[in-house]
Structures are given as C-alpha cells and as structure tokens.
Amino acid sequence: MIENQSDNINNEENDDSNQDNAPEDKSSTQNSTNENDELTSQKTEEINTEELKNTISNNDARLEQLEKEHETLKNQYVRISADFDNFRKRQSRDQDDLKIQLVSKTLTAILPIVDNFERARQQLKPESEEAQALHRSYQGLYKQLVEVLKQQGVSPMRVVGQQFDPNLHEAVLREPSDEFEEDFIIEELQRGYHLDGKVLRHALVKVSMGPGKQNSQQEVEKDTVEGDVDSEVITSEDV
C-alpha cells in the first residue's frame, strides 16, 4: 500500500512537470511560426516591391515610346496639313492665272475693234443730218463696248508726257523735240491697256530725243558738206 501510494505521488509529480514544460514548448513553437510568417511576409513584400518597380519601369518605357509615336504622328500631320494648304493655294493661284490668261486672250482680240472705232471717230466728220444720225449710233455702240471693257477691269494708259518705260511702252519712233526732254513720250501711236493693274497691251509710242539733237545733226551734215567742198577746191588748185 505504501509503495503504491509513493508510485502515485511520483506519477503526479511527473504529470505536474509535464504540464509545466508544455507551455514552454508551445511558446517556442509559436515564436518560430511568427518568425517564419514574418520572413514570408518580408519576402512577399520584397517580391511585390520588385514587381511594382518592374511594372513602373515598363510603364515609363511604354509611355516614352507612346510620346515618341505621338510626336512623330503630330509632325506628319503638320507636314501633311502644310502640304495640302500649299497645294490648295497653288491650285487656286493656277486657276486664277488660267482665268486671267483666258480673259486677256479674249480682250486682246477685241482691242483692235476698239482701235478701229477710235480711228473712225477721228476721221469721220459727218455734215448731213443722216450722217450725223449714223455717227451718233456708232458712238453709242462704241460707248457700250468701252463700258463692257471697263467692267472687265480694262483701263487705257495715258502716256503722252510720261517718261518712257519699257515695261509699259514700246518705242516705235524717236525724234528731236523742243517741248519734251529726252526719253519722254511725244505721241501715242497705239493705245495701251491695263487689266486689273497688269499690262494687257503695250502702248506704241513716239519718244523724244531731247532738244538740240536736230541742230547738232544739221551741223554735222554742214561740216561734212563744207569738208567735201574744200577738198574739191584743193584738188582743182593742184591741177
């Protein structure tokens, strides 16, 4: 009986010691688990941070590439827009030039008719009543023709007394003049016309050589004649 009681006491002490050691084992296991969790969490955070950095780097590279593509497309658009604008302006200018050429060609063909009307007006001097009626009718047609030309932008040049300009005038004759200085227009032989500020037809004109040119020429001819006479006299004396 005494032995049994001692055995029971020993067993109870062993159980108490086991119970005392059990919390320590559980605490160490929990600490180990927490450390593992912290390591795992740290590694996960590092991996996530690395992935985030890679993602940001890739996004930055993609953004830079898109910006370059955008700049390239923008430059292409600007260039194409400028080319189209230049093409539109060139087409408009070509159309205007073609229109002016067609109008100029048509009006140039009509101008000789206007010249004939003016010559007839200067030459005809109606005396009878019937001739005067015909002259008034002719003058009405001439005014209508001039008005049509004016509506198309045609205007006559006024050249007499103006300085000769090869861009506007064509010199047909040159002669001395005491009234006009050299290179000034004395007379209009055929009227010139403008079309919207541009030359439609050059004016045919007579240009002054200036005063004294005729006298100088006569003196040269006189000196030549006197020289010939003197040479004849000398020859006769020698004979």
- 70-85 CB burial, b ≥16 within 10 A, e <16: eeeeeeeeeeeeeeee
First-to-last C-alpha distance (Å) of the chain: 206
The CATH class that applies to domain 154-239 reads mainly beta
Q: Residue 58: what pLDDT?
A: 84
- Give percent of the chain above pLDDT 90: 26
Exposure string of 222-234, with b = 16+ CB inside 10 Å and e = fewer, is: eeeeeeeeeeeee
Q: Map out the domains of the chain as residue ranges.
A: 90-152, 154-239
230 vs 161, more confident: 161
Classify burial at 201, counting beta carbons within 10 Å of its beta carbon; exposed 0-12, middle 13-18, buried 19 or more.
Answer: buried
pLDDT over 50 at 105, yes or no:
yes
Q: Name the band, by pLDDT with cuts 50, 70 and 90, for residue 23.
A: very low
Q: pLDDT at residue 176 above 60? A: yes
pLDDT over threshold 60, residue 8: no
- Pairing mode, strands 169-175 and 198-201: unpaired
